[in-house]
Amino acid sequence: MNNSKNLLQDLHGRHHAYLRISLIERCNLRCTYCMPEEGVKLSPKSHLMTYEEIYDIAKTFVKHGVTKIRLTGGEPLIRKDIPIILEKLATLPVDLSITSNAVIIDNFFDILKANGVNKINVSLDSLDEAKFKHITRRNEFNKVYKNILLLVKEGFSVKVNAVLMKGFNDDEIIDFINLTKDFPISVRFIEFMPFDGNKWDMSKMVSYKEVMECVSSTFEETQVERLQDAPNDTSKNYKISGYKGSFAIISSVTNPFCDSCNRLRLTANGQLKNCLFSSGESDLLTMLRAGKSIEPIIQKAVQAKLKVRGGMDTLEKLQEPKLHKNNRSMITIGG
């Protein structure tokens, strides 16, 4: 093995300091872009990481330079042992955060605060109750919206993630931005991406350019402030002058941020994915349960990471179904 300090550095010079851990494949919503209509085949419970295994794997990554861990799902808060998972991971020297659909998050405010989890990403793709029900296949809009406002009131740092789809919610861009007028939240518009079973095609995607054209047609140029992006940020950040919050665009399709990518993903059944778009996986859990070191597998996976979007370095390749049909559904990767 190479020097351990280089374990998380790939062949393109990118150091990976950010680990996203999916805790569960199940969810209490059924978002169409995330879960196929027919559902997904869930891993048997015995194939999922226990809280001890999550901690052991995370500890190995932290040893080699991971400084940020985000918990995802499915919906991570429906996992029954989420309190102990948070308690264990909070002992590590990392910035710990979570992504949730916010349906039940009000039950966890005290637990989140007690374990230093202040940064909450909430998935919300429409501010219209009927549209919300259509895309999530559940009638939980009022609960989610109320909980977003409660999160802000309770002092959490809140980002609202909206996947834009043409002809569905692209007419809500300004409504979302206006949500930042009175609330200190960051709304992030995400380009619709291809995953197994989500019936993706380019015609449904709203691009970074189209979002900014919509912004320009509503606000004066002097009102739109370009903000400084954080190092390794996936988004291009803006705010409207005088608004309490901000907005951003995550342009994974039309303007990928692969050159500065520092992210790795661990699925709920212990598979390491070096890229969201890659169908390749590396089995950490089997090796861990065999009592063997997972470090060689991690290093091999990191060094196998391709330069751009799992090898799909052009829009033409991205539009070729056979190149991404073997990837997981988003719900089993981790949002």
According to the model, what pLDDT value does residue 320 have? 59
Provide the 3-class DSSP secondary structure of residue 25: coil
Asked if the peptide bond before residue 74 counts as cis, ω within 30 degrees of 0, the response is yes
The tokens describing 257, both together, are 């941020």
Pair 152, 119: CB distance under 8 Å: no
CA proximity to 200, closest of 305, 93, 327, 100: 327
CA angle 161, 41, 57 (to 5 degrees): 65
Q: Say which residues have a Cβ less than 8 Å from residue 192's Cβ, sequence separation at least 6.
A: 33, 163, 164, 165, 200, 204, 205, 206, 253
DSSP 242-264: T-SSEEEEE-TTTS--GGG--EE
* Domains of the chain from N-terminus onward: 4-333 (3.20.20.70)
According to the model, what pLDDT value does residue 2 have? 45
| Total residue count of the chain as it appears in this document | 335
pLDDT < 50 positions in the chain: 1-3, 197-198, 328
Tens-place pLDDT, residues 110-134: 999 999 999 999 999 999 999 999 8
